[in-house]
A and B are shown apart, each in its own frame.
Chain A
Amino acid sequence: MTDTQSKDLKVREKQELTGTAEQTTPGLVFTPAVDIFETEKEITLLADMPGVKSEDLIVDLRDSVLTLSADIAPIDHSNEEEILVEYETGRFYRQFTLGEIINQDGINAKLNNGVLRLTLPKVEKPAPKKIAVKEN
């Protein structure tokens, strides 16, 4: 881990969403970069969503499809003139299909410094019950 921490960050262009369905609202849509890891108890998802406020974020889980969708508050540029533009801003959207059954009530979403942390607890499978076979 120390190895990856000391390396220099490289520029990675924001990934624009390429989907079949066209958006109804104009504007750019990006897919956030994510980390997903799983432990025995839960699945954790971390997503980079700079500029997203908690009230603008929608996390939706239905039929084992997880949807992340976020609007960003536009910055008022009306009286500013652009000199250099290296990145664009826009909405974030990404969907995942989950293989595990998730306990819907236990889902926890936190936004911190533009990073979403989503905890999806797995439904505990009933422990296999051993059936004793009796002999007559």
Chain B
Amino acid sequence: MIYRRLLGFPTWRFRSPFEELERIKRQMDLLFEDVKTPFQRSHAGVFPLINLTEDIHNYYVRAELPGVTADTLDIRITSNNLSVSGERKMEAVVEGAKYHRREREAGKFSRVIGLPGEINPDKVEARLENGILTVTVSKAEAAKPRQITVRS
């Protein structure tokens, strides 16, 4: 916009009308790009997808890991990074079986999640239930909000 003000508006006098159309198209594309983003769920593109929530005491990290067993999961915590890695294994193919559909995938995964605040690494709990992993990470005492009483 500044560019336009500096050079005066009817710059297209010197260009062909097609160039002007091209410019409009570019700006329209930019506009639609802005519109599209809120509807598309943005994620880091690393398996597994996670949901992170918090309450006063804990952070909760949840991930959908159907078919992953607890013994193949490796969960580690450093100062405020939680790393989740493991492997999803598929059962061996039955001899002589004909496949109609194969949509499920097997493979290794590893992801590090940065937690937004100080945590207490001694109080971390992980549960795997019905294919959903829930890691409860306790916040550090210093990071918990403390209520301050107002004296009158």
Contact = CB atoms under 8 A, between A and B. Distances in A.
Interface of A: 1, 4-13, 33-40, 43-44, 46, 48-53, 75, 77, 79-88, 111, 113-115
Interface of B: 41, 43-55, 59-60, 62, 64-69, 87-90, 92-94, 96-109, 116, 128, 130-132
Contacts of A7: 106-108
Contacts of B96: 39-40
B106 A35 contact: no
Contacts, number: 146
Given A82-B51, A83-B116, A5 B89 contact: yes
A77 B26 CA distance: 43
Nearest to A5: B106
A84 B130 contact: no
Contact of B94 (A37, A50, A111, A114): A37
24 contacts: A4-B106, A5-B87, A5-B90, A5-B107, A9-B107, A9-B109, A10-B107, A11-B46, A36-B100, A37-B98, A37-B99, A37-B100, A38-B99, A38-B100, A46-B104, A48-B66, A51-B64, A52-B131, A53-B130, A75-B62, A83-B59, A84-B50, A113-B66, A114-B64
A83 B99 contact: no
A33, A48, A82: most-surrounded residue (chain B CB, <10 A): A48
